[in-house]
Amino acid sequence: MPSSLPPKTVLLVEDEASFRDVLQMGLAPQGFETVTAAGLAEAREALQARPFDAVVSDLRLKDGSGIELLGWMKDHDLSIPVVIMTAFATTETTVQALNLGAVDFLTKTKNDIQELTKVLKGIFSVSAAVTGPEVKDIGDLVGVGPTIRKIQALVGKVARADTTVLVTGESGTGKEIVARLIHRYSDRAKGPFVPVNCGALPEALLESELFGYEKGAFTGANTTKRGLFEEAEGGVIFLDEIGEIPLPLQVKLLRVLQERTIRRVGANEERAVDARVIGATNRNLQDRAARGQFRQDLYYRLNILHIELPPLRERQEDLPVLVDHFLAKFCRKLNKPVMTLSEEAMAVLRRCRFPGNVRELENLMERCVALNSGGPIGPDLFPDNLLAPAHGGSPLEAASLEIPAGGFDLEAYLGALKGHFMVRALDRADGNKTRAARLLGMSFRAYRYWLQEMGGAGTLSQGLPLPGSFPATEVSESDAKGEIPNDFL
């Protein structure tokens, strides 16, 4: 641990005096300052008396348990990383501890000190990297709230486990940042990090890009080419928008994960590969698997370690910290003096829902720094859509959502509504379908497919449809009575 930083303070909660002394003596030479508590009551008193950087607690205590301590800390909004140690680990207690916010669950062995030291240093290294002066080098996973602090600690834990990871969350929440952090703090840090946007590559090219091809495999294959899995040898391959991979290719990806081998297009033999896979998606893969749109066996193979990133609207406590971080970042980048946000501007941001999440906020702060000529940044530098009274509501609020007296054709209405927004997105993106798809949270492939199905942009309505524009479908006598028609049985 760098000597320029103050020592990290750890609360050790252990009712066995001899083992408590062993832990304290073992952690001191590693640069940790320790405070001990002999039970649950003493631990609560200590946590109320002073701040700690981490807590290490035995599961079974004379006056309670580590699970009770976790629950108490959660009730008191103490977002401190907690490591549970026990000689009596069970599936139930492990799940309980992790669900309550524990960042690791260690079984007591002869290597207690070595393993605990490794865990604590992993937690603190990620925390320092995320909140310290070097944050600009590794991304913007910044925050002070309990949700983001738990994710920061989880990243450190996941980094040490050399297996597949699935990162989920809305667009702009920082999935690639998390993947890069996992790579940086893993044993593969010296290996390459290879990002792949699976939704941006046409289906015909995706296989050859991932697995490579042999000379003569297809027209234009004039040389042999290594695939991205081979390029990621010894490191990490990051499969962004993994939910967009076509079903036939999912079978081959599953084999790669299970057998650690790939077969180039046009090759007769398989090649061993050693690359850790991190997948990311803004879709619910479990639901897609249930509907047959994603292979269930691949979903389970990807979902060994799962990190779910919350949207920015659920991280209000992190908003001022993120604003300050991005302002400082872009002031350095654009060689401008340090700027602040006015109270009026911050009040506007607090009312925003930020559909683009942290990425949208980052872009907004870059705009403000670029346009500001001096003094605190006011809301006058914000784009009009942030200042509109209805900016935080649903786009459907512009239409009448009342059901007409005679009813209406819901399917036709929803289809027209979708067509309306697809055309509006295409207009805003100046005809660029990739950018239009991104505005709607869709993959390029899905956007292009739906546009073709609807007959092209020229045939779609430019006006926001109203339910009353779609005539009611005929209602049979049995439907009116709430009965099931005979022909349905």
Please tell me the distance from the alpha carbon of residue 76 to that of residue 91, in angstroms, as a whole number.
26
Pairing of strands 32-37, 276-281: unpaired
Residues 143-195 pLDDT 10s: 777 778 778 778 877 887 889 999 999 999 999 999 998 998 888 999 999 99
Q: What is the pTM of this model?
A: 0.59
Rounded to 5 degrees, φ, ψ at 484 are -85, 120
- Residues facing 277 on adjacent strands: 237
Residues in Cβ contact with 459 at an 8 Å cutoff, skipping those fewer than 6 apart: none
The residue behind tokens 């949207």 is 311
Kindly report the number of other CB atoms within 10 A of residue 223's CB atom: 8
> What is the separation, in whole angstroms, between the first and last Cα of the chain?
71
Q: CA gyration radius for the chain?
A: 27
> What average pLDDT does range 247-252 have in this prediction?
93
Higher-pLDDT residue of 323, 476: 323
Residues in Cβ contact with 177 at an 8 Å cutoff, skipping those fewer than 6 apart: 138, 139, 140, 141
Please state, in angstroms and as integers, the Cα–Cα distance from residue 346 to each residue in 144, 275, 327, 376, following that order.
17, 43, 13, 11
- Give percent of the chain above pLDDT 90: 37
Q: Is the confidence at residue 481, as pLDDT, over 50?
A: no
Are the C-beta atoms of 19 and 60 separated by less than 8 Å?
Answer: no
> What average pLDDT does range 428-448 have in this prediction?
77
* 396 burial level (CB within 10 Å; 0-12, 13-18, 19+): exposed
Please tell me the distance from the alpha carbon of residue 486 to that of residue 470, in angstroms, as a whole number.
28
Q: Is the confidence at residue 229, as pLDDT, over 90?
A: yes
Please state, in angstroms and as integers, the Cα–Cα distance from residue 335 to each residue in 60, 134, 370, following that order.
55, 18, 10
Q: Determine which of 36-40, 221-225, 269-273, 370-374 has the lowest per-residue pLDDT on average.
A: 221-225
Please tell me the distance from the alpha carbon of residue 125 to that of residue 117, in angstroms, as a whole number.
12
Pairing of strands 225-226, 212-213: antiparallel
Higher-pLDDT residue of 116, 388: 116
Domains and CATH numbers, the chain: 8-137 (3.40.50.2300), 161-308 (3.40.50.300), 312-387 (1.10.8.60), 406-488 (1.10.10)
Please tell me the distance from the alpha carbon of residue 413 to that of residue 114, in angstroms, as a whole number.
63
- Give percent of the chain above pLDDT 70: 80
Please tell me the distance from the alpha carbon of residue 138 to that of residue 154, in angstroms, as a whole number.
16
> What average pLDDT does range 196-200 have in this prediction?
91
Which pLDDT belongs to residue 472?
61
- Residues facing 194 on adjacent strands: 237
Please tell me the distance from the alpha carbon of residue 253 to that of residue 244, in angstroms, as a whole number.
13
Residues 365-405 pLDDT 10s: 999 999 998 889 999 999 887 766 543 444 444 444 667 66
Which pLDDT belongs to residue 376?
92
Structure tokens at 332: 């350095």
Please tell me the distance from the alpha carbon of residue 40 to that of residue 47, in angstroms, as a whole number.
11
Residues 17-75 pLDDT 10s: 888 888 888 888 888 899 999 999 999 999 999 989 889 998 888 898 888 998 898 88
Higher-pLDDT residue of 157, 11: 11
Please tell me the distance from the alpha carbon of residue 144 to that of residue 131, in angstroms, as a whole number.
9
Please tell me the distance from the alpha carbon of residue 283 to that of residue 244, in angstroms, as a whole number.
9
Closest CA to 277 of 144, 214, 186, 206: 186
* 411 pLDDT tier (thresholds 50, 70, 90): confident
Structure tokens at 422: 């697809």
Q: Is the confidence at residue 336, as pLDDT, over 50?
A: yes
* Helix segments in 220-280, DSSP class H: 228-231, 247-259
Which pLDDT belongs to residue 421?
82
HSE value, Cβ hemisphere, 13 Å, CA-based, for 211: 28
Are the C-beta atoms of 116 and 108 separated by less than 8 Å?
Answer: no
Q: Position 194: which residue type? A: V
The rounded mean pLDDT for the chain is 80
